[in-house]
């Protein structure tokens, strides 16, 4: 089966990204044909700095590789390197109902956030994402729940195109992260962890002293009992979730191990687990930062491989639409 997924280049990866996406990708690349894309064209739909944009893209590629995405097993590339993404986006625009786009919750949220500069690119963002997916005849799209609506649109457009012009696209299936894999903010455990609030977010590249500070100052709950209870103890529940995901120990076992012990002991133990788990990623990243030529070659070769698939799809699309 063919897998496609992508992450915007802006911002460093945090442990929520790792658990919700990257960890899943590492498993998928062992059994399937995977394409992992740095979606730079999506990133420019909101304000960004063009002066350091190439550096940001390079840093994201380094993070992919440091986490274990293997260019021998997967295709890693930058979206804008493959021009067929934008061509297919325009063609899909012609069959996309305006009403479907106006119902997209992410557009509503971001248009409130960037009221003065909402452009057509942000409105059409889901069509570009549909093109990303359909271009590679994707079978499965592993994404977070916040992208579910966009993948559903891709499925809708694939069926609509096939009905209107004849069978062309595979209708992709959605793959959501496993239940319980949601990591919350360290400072407000009722909110999702977000890179926009660095103090409440644990980045994959954080040094041991930073990990220690963030975990030891993480918000906890009244009382001393270490139990998983999202309503009564959201802070401790979040720490137990992180501990379980990175130690691969069941939460029930952790509750037993820390019975009668204090929050401080739990936090100290969690710091050790995280420092040990993230050390290989930090070490690999430092090595890759010194190998810029190698990283760029990975992206160039990935784009060439991706383009072979993309060109094949677009040849069929143009024929079906009467453009050749």
Annotated catalytic residues are 110, 192, 195
Q: Evaluate whether 88 touches 66 at the Cβ level (below 8 Å).
A: no
Q: Evaluate whether 258 touches 266 at the Cβ level (below 8 Å).
A: yes
Distance in angstroms (rounded) separating the CA atoms of residues 41 and 47: 12
Q: Which of 324, 313, 283 is nearest to 85 (CA)?
A: 313
Residue 69, Cβ neighbours under 10 Å: how many? 20
Give the sign of the dihedral formed by CA 295, CA 300, CA 304, CA 310: positive
Q: Evaluate whether 239 touches 268 at the Cβ level (below 8 Å).
A: no
Distance in angstroms (rounded) separating the CA atoms of residues 307 and 302: 8
């Amino acid at each position: 089966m063919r897998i496609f997924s992508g992450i915007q280049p802006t911002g460093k990866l945090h442990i929520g990204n790792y658990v919700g996406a990257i960890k899943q990708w590492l498993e998928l690349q062992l059994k399937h044909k995977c394409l992992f894309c740095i979606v730079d064209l999506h990133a420019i739909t909101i304000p960004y700095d063009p002066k350091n944009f190439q550096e940001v893209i390079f840093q994201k590629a380094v993070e992919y590789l440091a986490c274990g995405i293997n260019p021998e097993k997967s295709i890693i590339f930058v979206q804008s390197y493959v021009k067929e993404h934008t061509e297919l986006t325009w063609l899909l625009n012609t069959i996309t109902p305006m009403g479907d786009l106006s119902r997209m919750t992410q557009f509503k949220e971001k248009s409130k956030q960037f009221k003065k500069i909402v452009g057509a690119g942000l409105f059409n963002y889901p069509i570009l994402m549909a093109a990303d997916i359909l271009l590679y005849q994707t079978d499965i799209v592993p994404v977070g729940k916040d992208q579910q609506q966009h993948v559903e649109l891709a499925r809708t457009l694939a069926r609509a195109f096939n009905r209107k012009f004849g069978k062309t696209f595979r209708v992709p299936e959605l793959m959501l992260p496993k239940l319980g894999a949601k990591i919350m903010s360290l400072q407000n455990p009722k909110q999702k962890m977000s890179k926009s609030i660095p103090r409440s977010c644990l980045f994959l590249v954080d040094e041991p002293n930073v990990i220690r500070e963030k975990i030891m100052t993480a918000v906890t709950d009244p009382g001393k009992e270490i139990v998983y209870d999202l309503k009564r103890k959201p802070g401790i529940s979040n720490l137990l979730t992180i501990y379980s995901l990175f130690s691969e120990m069941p939460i029930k076992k952790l509750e037993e191990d820390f019975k009668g012990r204090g929050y401080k002991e739990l936090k100290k133990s969690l710091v050790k687990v995280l420092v040990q788990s993230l050390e290989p990623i930090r070490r690999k990243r430092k090595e890759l930062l010194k190998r810029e030529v190698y990283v760029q070659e990975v992206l160039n070769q990935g784009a060439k491989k991706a383009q072979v698939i993309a060109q094949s799809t677009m040849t069929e699309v143009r024929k079906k639409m009467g453009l050749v």
